[in-house]
Structures are given as C-alpha cells and as structure tokens.
C-alpha cells in the first residue's frame, strides 16, 4: 500500500518535472508567425484578415511578424502584387518585422530566391527514402484523372498505384539516372495504413488515414517547390512557432505533418481561420460580389477599375476593426477597437470555427464609430479627405469637416454632404406645396432682413428665433424655408452653420432666388 502511493508520487513528481521542462523550452522559444501570401493580384480582405490575426497573435505574445512572399508559381505571379501587399499592410499599420522589404536574419523572404535551399532539403528526403523521383508525363496523368472521373472516382497517385508508374521506385538505378537528365518531379512517399494526428488550435485534434492521401508533388519539373514543400521548409528554417492561415489549408495539414516528420523536425502549432463568405448566396466572398453590390473586397485600389476600402472612404482603423470582428470576439460586448486595443485583447479562444458572412452595413457602422472618435484635425490628416476636399478653398477645409463630421459614415460621404456648396439642389416641390400656405415668403423676407443687418452668425440665429417666437411663426416653417432656400432640400448639416459657410452674399442670393421661385408659383 505504501509502495503504491510512493510510486504515484514518484510518477507524479516526474511528470511534473517533464511538464516544467517543456514549459521552459516553450517559453524560451520566441513566438514567430508569418503571413505568406502569393503575389497573384491584389490582396483580398480574407488574406488581409489572415495577416491581421497573425499580426495580433505576434503582438499579443511580444513575438515577431514575418512577411514571406510565396512566388513559386512563376505563371501566376502578377507584377505589382508584392508592392500592393506591402502597401496594404502599411496602410493598416501592420508593418512586418521581417520581410522582403526590410530584411531580417532568416531571409531571403521571397521563395523564388530560396531555390537552392529547397534543392538541398529535398535531397535529405530522397536519401531518407521519404521522397522519390517520378517521370510520368503530365498528359498521361491527366488522362488517368479523366478516366477515374468517368467512373465517379478520384485519381490518386499513391501507395495503391505508384508501382504502376514510371518513377525511381519502379526503375533501376541506372534507368533512373538516365531519366533524371530529362524532366522529372519529386513526390512525397506516403506510407499506407497509418493515421496522421494533427492538432489545430481552434478545432482540436484531427485524425486522417494516410490511405486517403496521395503522393503529393514536392518539387515541380521546373525545379521550383510546390506550396506544401516550400511552406514546411521555410516555416522550419524561419523558426515559425505557429502557422496561422485560412481554413482552405486544413485538408493539406496531414501532408505537411508528414513532411515535418520525414525531416525529423518539430511541428509548429497550427491555427486555421474560418473563411469570409458572400453576403448572400453560396460560397466565399469574391471580387464579383463587390462589383455587383457596390462594396470593396480589397483594401486598396487595384488598377483603375477596382477601388479598395481606402478609395471608398474607409479608415484603415475601421476596416481593421471590422475584419477583426469577422471571426473573432473578445467574449465581452465591446465592438469598437483600435489596433492597439486589438493587440492587447486578441486571444485564440475567441476565434470562431464557422465561416462568417461579409456585412457591408456593419462595416460602415464600425467605420462611423471610428470616425466619430477622431478630431477634426485627425480626420484632415487622412489623405483621402484631402483629396475629397480639393475642390474647395484650402483655408475652409477644417471648417467644412467640422460642418459635416457628425453626419459621416465613410469619408466619401463628404462628397454628398458638400454638394450644396456649389449650388442648391433643385427645389423639392413637395416641400414647397406643404409650406406654401404658411406664408414662407414673410419668413424669408425676415431672414433676409436680419441677415443683412447682422454679421455675427450666433446673434443672427438668436434674433431670428426670437422673432419667430414673438410673431408665433412655427419653428418648423422657419427652418424648412431657410433650409429650402440655402440647400434646396430638407436634409443636411446644421442650417446656421451652412449659412455661415456659404457666407452672407451667397446666402442672400439663394434666399432671393427662392422668393422669386415662390412668386412665380403664385402667378401660376
């Protein structure tokens, strides 16, 4: 009995010791995450959100945020994409600690510049027997695929049929050496009848039978690695501790795990993010959805045709805030966050499992919340605002922002809010009919008279309101007539401020114009 307890204690003690050691090792290892986009065009907001979660994860753990460009497919590489990615990250305030632009001790950070690294590493796998050369023509395999499809099956190049093909497993050494002079690929040799156990930080343990996997190509015939291979090698060499990427990668996680194991490397942690879905209908959010419904799906403009959130009048803070909320929440009722606040608040537990539909209305609301937190000067410092105000005299810019600020959801609302400055809208005739029998002309004449006499806007406002009270003119008719005269319709910013911005001369002109219009209507 005594012995029994003693054993447990020893065992307990040992277990605790091991745990402590493991904890120590983990602590010592600096958190390093990476955002690894392919430069195949503009960065989609789904990609940007992946970048954001990586960034936040790094910041929360005082770790390092790496940008790595995955340009292993030369055919799909698009000029300007890398700059676009870089600019988008900068705009959001998520500058990478290491990357192609600012370097770092784990470079180069473009996969196309790491060719020899992959070439070296693939030899390790070949020597270990974990990978093999394959010489099959692409056309032959395509035919096999079509055949299989006809039968309602999926063609897989793997343990069940690899011996039927032309590869270093079936050829003699001499034949192989000869065949290597021509085109070849290198495949991962996936052992059959085993179970790969992988762990995802937000989904838990996933078990996959190796028989469902195929012998994935690791090196392409052009000498470039595939995503799977380059990814694993780079993540290991760059000492990435946690791989945070989109959910579309979850099915290939077992393959990646197998590659780590083949090398004898420690596997990093993995976090697969849920996808951003269409606002309505099926599938993930695409460029066409944005075009169709008039909202952006890219952070910045791409070419001349495609505006981004920035060009549509979003604040970087608004977009980042909304993106963070798509698939993550802190568990409290707070929804408006600055980047700095997100850096503190971010946690793995709050990451959602299911995909999230993109909601432009909520995105605008978040942007509005961010906008209202800013001072007039801060708003003016946004370059988009300067663009929007460029038609107006520069010395009026600040007061114009002050005039419309509280009415803005997105920056570009400025355009609509300020169109009255050029000229009035065509008079809203329904309003004229409604107020016409309440003698708007008398009101306008009084406004005119007071305006001519009084230069101070505040005093003018006081006088005109006290006049209306004395003469029992309703506030409604007063404000409506005045607004109709200056703006032409019944919506807009504070009408006395509008008057002040327009100036005495223009205001008087517009009042006269409405009086004339009313006279004309009477004659008819």
Partner RNA sequence: GGCCCGUUCGUCUAUCGGUUAGGACGUUAGGUUUUCAUCCUAGAAAGAGGGGUUCGACUCCCCUACGGGCUACCA
Site residues for RNA, 201-240, by CB under 7 A, read 203-204, 206-209, 212, 217, 220-222, 224, 226-227
Q: At what angle do helices 316-325 and 81-92 cross, to 10 degrees?
A: 90
Q: Which of 12, 19, 143, 153 binds RNA (CB under 7 A)?
A: 153
- Burial code of 305-329, b = ≥16 C-beta within 10 A, e = fewer? ebbbbbbbbbbbbbbbbbbbbbbbb
Which of 41, 61, 73, 402: binder of RNA (CB under 7 A)? 73
- Do residues 109 and 99 touch, judged by C-beta distance below 8 A? yes
> Minimum distance between the CB of residue 362 and RNA, rounded to whole angstroms?
4
User: What residues from 409 to 428 belong to the interface with RNA (CB under 7 A)?
Assistant: none
Q: 10 Å Cβ neighbour count for 225?
A: 26
d(CA 107, CA 103): 6
Residue 78 sits in the site that holds RNA (CB under 7 A)? no
Q: Which of 60, 101, 115, 155 binds RNA (CB under 7 A)?
A: 155
Residue number with CB closer to RNA (12 or 222): 222
Taking only Cα atoms into account, the Rg of the chain, rounded to an integer number of angstroms, comes to: 33
Collapse the DSSP code of 38 into the 3-class scheme (helix H, G, I; strand E, B; otherwise coil) and give the result: coil
User: In this chain, which of 22, 288, 353, 521 binds RNA, going by CB under 7 A?
Assistant: 353
Name the burial class of residue 220, with classes exposed (0-12), middle (13-18) and buried (19+) by CB atoms within 10 angstroms of its CB: middle
Residue 273 bridge partners (DSSP): 246
- Residues between 11 and 50 that touch RNA (CB under 7 A): 36-38, 40
List all residues 6 or more positions away from 489 whose beta carbon is below 8 Å from its beta carbon: 425, 427, 428, 431, 483
Which helix H or strand E contains 205, and what residues bound it? Answer: strand 204-209
Among 112, 352, 436, 439, binds RNA (CB under 7 A): 352
Burial class (CB in 10 A: 0-12, 13-18, 19+), 440: buried
CB closer to RNA, 10 vs 353: 353
Q: Is 180 helix (H, G, I), strand (E, B) or coil?
A: coil
Looking at the annotation, which residues are catalytic? Answer: 287
Between 235 and 274, how does the x/- string for binding to RNA read (CB under 7 A)? ------------xxxxxx---------------------x
Q: Segment 444-503, which members bind RNA (CB under 7 A)?
A: 461, 475-476, 479-480, 483, 490-496
Q: Is 331 in the site for RNA (CB under 7 A)?
A: yes
Minimal distance in Å, beta carbon 524 to RNA? 26
Please give the structure tokens belonging to residue 517: 């219009």
How do 131-134 and 185-188 pair as beta strands?
A: antiparallel
From the CB of 25, what's the least distance to RNA, in Å?
A: 26
The footprint of RNA on residues 378-397 (CB under 7 A) is: none
Q: Which is nearer to RNA, 227 or 260 (CB)?
A: 227
Candidate segments 123-131, 298-306, 324-332, 440-448, binder of RNA by CB under 7 A = 324-332
Binding pattern to RNA, positions 166-205, x when CB under 7 A? Answer: -----------------x-x-----------------xx-
Give 439's DSSP letter: -
Which one of 12-20, 27-35, 68-76, 503-511 is the stretch in contact with RNA (CB under 7 A)? 68-76
Contact 353, 203 (CB under 8 A): yes
Minimum distance, C-beta of residue 57 to RNA, in the bound complex (Å): 17
- State how far the Cα of 397 lies from the Cα of 385, in Å rounded to an integer: 9
- Looking at 154, 261, 471, 512, which residue binds RNA (CB under 7 A)? 154
Question: If you count DSSP H runs as helices and E runs as strands, how many of each does the chain have, helices first?
Answer: 22, 11
Nearer to RNA, 13 or 80 (CB): 80
Q: Which CB atom, from 18 or from 280, has the smaller least distance to RNA?
A: 280
CB of 277 to RNA, least distance (A): 6
The widest CA-to-CA distance across the chain, in whole angstroms, is: 114
Shortest CB 202 distance to RNA, Å: 8
Query: How far apart are CB 370 and RNA at their closest, in Å?
Result: 12
User: Cβ 8 to RNA, closest distance in Å?
Assistant: 28
Establish whether the linkage from the previous residue to 232 is cis, with ω within 30° of 0: no
């Amino acid at each position: 009995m005594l012995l029994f307890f003693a054993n447990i204690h020893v065992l307990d003690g040992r277990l605790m010791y091991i745990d402590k050691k493991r904890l120590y090792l983990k602590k010592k290892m600096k958190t390093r995450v990476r955002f690894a986009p392919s430069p195949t065009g503009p960065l989609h907001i789904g990609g940007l959100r992946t970048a954001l979660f990586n960034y936040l994860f790094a910041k929360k753990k005082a770790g390092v945020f790496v940008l790595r460009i995955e340009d292993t497919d030369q055919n799909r590489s698009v000029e300007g994409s890398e700059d676009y990615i870089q600019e988008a990250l900068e705009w959001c305030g998520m500058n990478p600690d290491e990357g192609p632009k600012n370097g770092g001790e784990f470079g180069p950070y473009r996969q196309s510049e790491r060719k020899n690294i992959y070439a070296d590493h693939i030899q390790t796998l070949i020597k270990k027997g974990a990978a093999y050369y394959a010489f099959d023509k692409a056309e032959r395999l395509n035919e096999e695929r079509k055949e299989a499809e006809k039968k309602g099956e999926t063609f897989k190049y793997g343990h069940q049929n690899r011996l039927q093909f032309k590869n270093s497993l079936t050829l003699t050494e001499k034949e192989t050496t000869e065949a290597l002079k021509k085109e070849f690929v290198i495949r991962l040799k996936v052992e059959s009848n085993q179970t790969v156990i992988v762990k995802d930080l937000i989904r838990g343990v996933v078990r996959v039978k190796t028989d469902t996997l195929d012998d994935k190509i690791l090196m392409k015939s052009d000498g470039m690695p595939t995503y799977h291979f380059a990814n694993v090698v780079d993540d290991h060499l760059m000492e990435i501790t946690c791989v945070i990427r989109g959910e579309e990668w979850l099915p290939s996680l077992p393959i990646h795990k197998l590659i780590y194991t083949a090398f004898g490397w420690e596997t990093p942690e993995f976090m697969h993010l849920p996808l951003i879905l269409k606002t309505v209908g099926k599938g993930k959010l695409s460029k066409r959805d944005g075009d169709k419904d008039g909202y952006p799906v890219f952070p910045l403009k791409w070419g001349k045709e495609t505006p981004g959130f920035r060009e549509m009048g979003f604040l970087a803070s608004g977009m980042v805030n909304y993106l963070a909320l798509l698939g993550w929440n802190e568990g409290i009722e707070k929804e408006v966050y600055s980047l700095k606040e997100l850096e503190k608040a971010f946690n793995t537990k709050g990451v959602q499992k299911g995909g999230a539909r993109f909601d432009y209305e909520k995105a605008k609301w978040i942007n509005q919340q961010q906008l209202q937190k800013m001072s007039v000067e801060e708003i003016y410092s946004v370059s988009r605002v300067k663009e929007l105000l460029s038609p107006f005299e520069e010395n009026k810019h600040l007061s114009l922002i002050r005039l419309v600020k509280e009415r803005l959801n997105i920056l570009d609302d400025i355009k609509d809010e300020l169109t009255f400055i050029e000229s009035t809208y065509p008079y809203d005739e329904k309003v004229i009919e409604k107020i016409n029998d309440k003698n708007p002309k008398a009101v306008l004449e009084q406004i005119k008279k007071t305006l001519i006499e009084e230069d101070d806007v505040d005093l003018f406002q006081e006088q005109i309101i006290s006049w209306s009270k004395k003469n029992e003119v309703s506030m409604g008719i007063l404000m409506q007539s005045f607004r109709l005269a200056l703006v032409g319709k019944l919506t807009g910013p504070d009408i006395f401020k509008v008057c002040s911005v327009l100036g005495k001369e223009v205001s008087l002109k517009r009042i006269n114009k409405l009086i004339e219009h009313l006279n004309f209507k009477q004659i008819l």
